[in-house]
Amino acid sequence: MRARSAVLASLASAAILLIGWQAGSEASTPGGTTADATTPGAGTPSGSTGSTAAGKSAGPPAAGAKDGTFDGRQIRTRYGTMQVRTTIAGGKITDIVPLKLTDVGSLSGEIDRQAVPMLRSEVLSSQSAKVHTIAGATYTSQGYLSSLQAALDAANFKG
């Protein structure tokens, strides 16, 4: 390969990688910010600005959501298939019940017992499936959140 082509090829490769990296980090950041924004709503009595901010983030986006229970897609993970059911009432996620949990490997049950309640509370407080995965329970988190996202999409819930 001639030098000029080699330079062009590496620049183009770098650009593609950068776009991929950017897309990857954008997909994970919204979960972080909404989790922060909802903390004042969870019970700080101080300023009125905080509560309006919380109201804004939880209120309007859910406008088109249907009420009811919705089953998510079955998500196959390395440790088994996961599926969750979510309940939406008054435009808010009120409950999430696991229908299928990971069952492959000796530690799956134990990991799920710890991770699922953490995921549930994270989601309920942030009103979104875009929350951080739980360290040490990557597969459970990904399966749980992907299935949940599918259920939310079915409910036309925009979190």
Partner 1 sequence: MSRTRTTEERTTSPPQRERYLRRARLADSLETIVWLTVALVLALFLADGGLAEFKTVPGTFTALGIIAGLVGTDLMLVQLLLAARLPVIDRAFGHDHALLVHQRMGKPVFYLISAHMVLLWIGYALTARLNVFAEIWDMFTTLPDMKIAYLGYGLLTVVVITSLVIVRRKFPYEAWHVVHFLAYAAVLAALPHQFSTGQLFADGTWARYYWLALYFGVAAALLVYRFIVPMLRTLRHDLRVSNVVAEAPGVYSIEMTGRSLADLRVRGGQFFIWRFWSRGLWWHAHPFSLSAAPGILRLKVTVRELGGGTSELGALRIGTRVSIEGPYGLFTDRARTTRRAVAVAAGIGITPIISLLEQGDFAPGEMTVIVRAPDEKGLYLHQELQKLCIKKSAALCVLLGRRPKKGHDSWLPARDASRHVSLSTIVPEVRDADVFVCGPRGWTDLVVEDAKQAGVPKFRIHYERFSW
DSSP 102: -
Smallest gap from residue 39 Cβ to partner 1 (A): 22
Listed in sequence order, the residues at least 6 apart from 79 whose beta carbon sits closer than 8 Å to its beta carbon are 102, 103, 104, 105, 108, 139, 140
Closer residue to partner 1 in complex, CB, 16/89: 16
Write down the least CB distance from residue 14 to partner 1, Å. Answer: 8
Which residue's CB is nearer to partner 1, number 96 or number 137?
137
Q: Report in angstroms how near the CB of residue 8 gets to partner 1 at its nearest.
A: 7
Which among 116, 144, 123, 152 is positioned nearest to 31, based on CA atoms?
A: 123
> Quick one: 87 or 138, whose CB is closer to partner 1?
138
Contact 102, 83 (CB under 8 A): no
Q: Are 139 and 133 in contact (CB under 8 A)?
A: no
* Largest separation between any pair of C-alpha atoms in the chain: 67
Half-sphere exposure of 6 (CA within 13 A, CB side): 3
Closer to partner 1 by Cβ: residue 67 or 103: 103
Task: State the minimum distance, in angstroms, from the CB of residue 108 to partner 1.
Answer: 8
Q: Which residues bind partner 1 (CB under 8 A)?
A: 1-2, 5, 8-10, 12-14, 16-17, 19-21, 23-25, 27-28, 76, 78-79, 104-107, 133, 135-136, 138-139
